[in-house]
Amino acid sequence: MTADDHPNNNRQKTVLVTGATGYVGSRLVPQILPHYNVRCMVRDPERLDAAIRDQVEVAQGDVMHSHSLRECMQGVDVAIYLIHGLGYGPDFQKKDRIAAENFLNAAQEAGVSRIIYLGGLGDDEDPGLSPHLKSRHEVGEVFQASEVLTIELRASVVLGPGSLSYELIRSLTQRLPVMICPKWLSTPTQPIATEDVLAYLQESIELPVEKSEVFEIGSQDVVTYGGLIQMYAQERNLKRYLISVPLLTPYLSSLWLGLVTPTSAQVGRHLIEGLKNPTVVRDDRARKIFSHQAMTTQEAVRQAVEQEA
């Protein structure tokens, strides 16, 4: 279906969702569909969920090719950016930046009024910030420096079946009764339930702000990655023992993960390099400005386990 023959052109706003076939995007589209005219930007339309394909506008485009973006952006009010380049290979940081610049240029040309970007938590002042998290922040900086009003949501681990980080936790806990664990399992983090991320993204479409903003979002409490594994084990009625080995490097950890999880060693290494950095909410303005309030980490894990079943 194209923009011209869509049956719901009387809707107030047209919202473009990039990454509509990805983990967050595929769940966000059905949630906002009753309220907006939704346009899904995808590289391969066949990968879009058949259940919603006839209810949305399908725009074929690629953020690495600026000419395809111009048509995708025509008539868009709000553009939601859910793309990151972990799968781009070793030069993913450069490609992440180019993709963001292409997207921004197309949005500016089309007169888009708002960009919503889901990025990652982490301290900008941390000299040891991982390439993965640094790249997420650089993409946000591209949008924040523009004239298009941008709401950047920074989150840590997203807890829900299908989320890459959650699947790592699930696979490790289910397969290894005793884990020889690296030091990063003691790193503090403030994960967030998938449903909470979706709620923040949806509310951001209409959130009354006068300038570009960065909001840090997370559950109500801070835990460690080891704590997440124990929480998952508890919900699954499993006994798991964690033995810390501080010399296990991110590279060795990624090879270890490759033996016990479905994640590739390369993607796993990028993720693990980020796990060494604390990812906690240091600015809690989101709790005061958004009407939605996130659940606790334990509730998020329990909900994710129930959804698995």
- 178-198 mean pLDDT: 85
Q: Which residues contact residue 221 at a Cβ distance below 8 angstroms, ignoring those fewer than 6 apart?
A: 190, 296, 297
- Say yes or no to pLDDT of 182 above 50: yes
How is residue 88 written in tokens? Answer: 């781009």
- Which band of pLDDT confidence, cut at 50, 70 and 90, is reported for residue 92? confident
Q: What is the pLDDT of residue 12?
A: 81
Are β-strands 192-193 and 178-181 bridged in parallel, bridged antiparallel, or unpaired?
A: unpaired
pLDDT confidence of 100, banded at 50, 70, 90?
very high
DSSP string, 106-166: HHHHHT--EEEEEEE---TT-TT--HHHHHHHHHHHHHHTSSSEEEEEEE--EESTT-HHH
pLDDT of residue 10: 45
Domain edges within the chain: 14-156+192-218+280-294
What residues contact 14, with CB distance under 8 A and at least 6 apart? 3, 36, 37, 38, 39, 57, 75, 76, 77, 78
What confidence tier does 265 reach under pLDDT thresholds 50, 70, 90? very low
The pLDDT tens digits of the residues spanning 23-72 come to: 999 999 999 999 999 999 998 989 998 889 999 999 999 998 888 899 99
Q: Are residues 82 and 47 in contact, defined by beta-carbon separation less than 8 angstroms?
A: no
**What is the pLDDT averaged over residues 259-282?**
66
* Confidence class for position 189, pLDDT limits 50, 70, 90: very high
Quick one: which of 135, 117, 84, 129 has its CA closest to 214? 117
Mean pLDDT of the region 165-185: 75
- Can you give the pLDDT at residue 246? 63
Q: Which of 261, 302, 281 is nearest to 188 (CA)?
A: 281
pTM: predicted TM-score of the whole model, two decimal places? 0.89
Which two structure tokens, joined as six digits, stand for 58?
């399908």
pLDDT of residue 258: 58
Residue 153 or residue 228, greater confidence: 153
Buried/exposed 129-150: b ≥16 CB within 10 Å, e otherwise: bbebbbbbbebbebbbebebbb
- Provide the percentage of residues in the chain whose pLDDT is more than 70: 82
* Residue 253 tokens, joined: 């950890």
Please say whether the structural domain 14-156+192-218+280-294 has been given the CATH code 3.40.50.720.
yes
